[in-house]
Amino acid sequence: MGSHNIIFFIKTGLLIFLLTSCQQISPVGEASVGEHIPLHHLPALNGDYFKFDSSEVGRPFHIYIRFPVGYSEQNKSYPVVYLLDGDSLFPILAANHLFLTYDEGLAEAIVVGISYGSFDASINKRGFDFTAPAPDAKPGQGGAPAFHKFLELELIPEIETRYRADPAKRILFGQSRGGFMVLYSAFTNPDFFWGRIASNPTFDPGRDLLFSSTPSASRSDLALVVTSGTRDYPPLREAALEWYEAWGEADEMPWALNFVTINNGTHAANSTDSYRAGMLWLFSRDK
C-alpha cells in the first residue's frame, strides 16, 4: 500500500471519528431531552421534592418544598405556605420569600409548590380542580370539592408528617383560578387555613357561593387577603370590586378581611406584589 493511500485512510478515519463525536456531545449549556436538571445548586430553592398520587383527585401531583434558611440547624416548627399553580409560582414566590425575610423581616416559612408537572391541558387540570360545581359550570369544570379534600386529607397531613410544619399556621395562596380556589376554601372550610391570599381571583363559575352567607368558624385568628390589579382583565377587576363592596363592611365574617389594590398591576405578572402585601399583613396581625 502506497504512502498516499495510508494518508487517505488516516484522514477518512479521523473525519468519521470527529463527526460521530460531534453528534454525541451537546452544546455547552444545552441539556439533553428528558435529562433531569438538578435544583440543589439553587440555594434560594433549597428543599425537597416528592411525587404524590392522590386518591381523592385520581391524579398525581409534583410537590416541591422550599426550606427556611437554617432549617436543618433549627428544631422548631414553621408556618407553611401552600402555593397553587406551583408549576409557575413556586420558583417565583418561594425564592422571593427569602428576599422578604431580608428586607421586610417576614417570618421564615416552609413553602410548598403544588404542581401538575406540565402546562399541557391533558395533564394540567387547574381548570377543573379550581372551579366549583355550579349551574353555570361547563363540562370539564367543578372539581374544587375533590381538590380541597386532597389538600385536607392527603397532602397537608403528609407535609405535617414529613416536615416541622406548624398546623396552626397554614397559608393558602392562589392566583387567577387558583385565587377562586382560595375563596372557595374560605367559604367552605374557613377553619382549615390560618391565612389565605387570593390574587386576582376569578369568580365564575360558582359566583353565587362567594356572595352567599359564610359558614361559622371556631377559630378567631383567621384572615383572608384579596388582591386586585387595576389593570387586571376588566370583568375580573369589576367582579373583585363588587365582591368587596358586598363583604367589606359586613358585620360578621369568619375571617378578618383585607382587600388590596395593586396599582398598575396586571392579571398574572404581579404575583410577587400580591404575595408581599398578603404575607406582610397576615404576619403583622400575629405580632
Q: Where in the chain are the domains?
A: 41-284
Across the chain, what does the average pLDDT equal? 91
pLDDT digits (tens, 9 = 90+) for 136-189: 999 999 999 999 999 999 999 999 999 999 999 999 999 999 999 999 999 999
81 band by pLDDT with thresholds 50, 70 and 90: very high
Predicted model pTM: 0.88
Cell numbers that stand for 271 in this block: 404575583
pLDDT digits (tens, 9 = 90+) for 204-248: 999 999 998 888 999 999 999 999 999 999 999 999 999 999 999
Fold observed for domain 41-284: Rossmann fold (3.40.50)
pLDDT of amino acid 85:
99
Long-range contacts of 47-53 (CB under 8 A, 24+ apart): 47/94, 47/110, 47/111, 48/162, 48/163, 50/162, 52/154, 52/155, 52/158
Q: What percent of the chain has pLDDT over 70?
A: 88
pLDDT digits (tens, 9 = 90+) for 82-120: 999 999 999 999 999 999 999 999 999 999 999 999 999
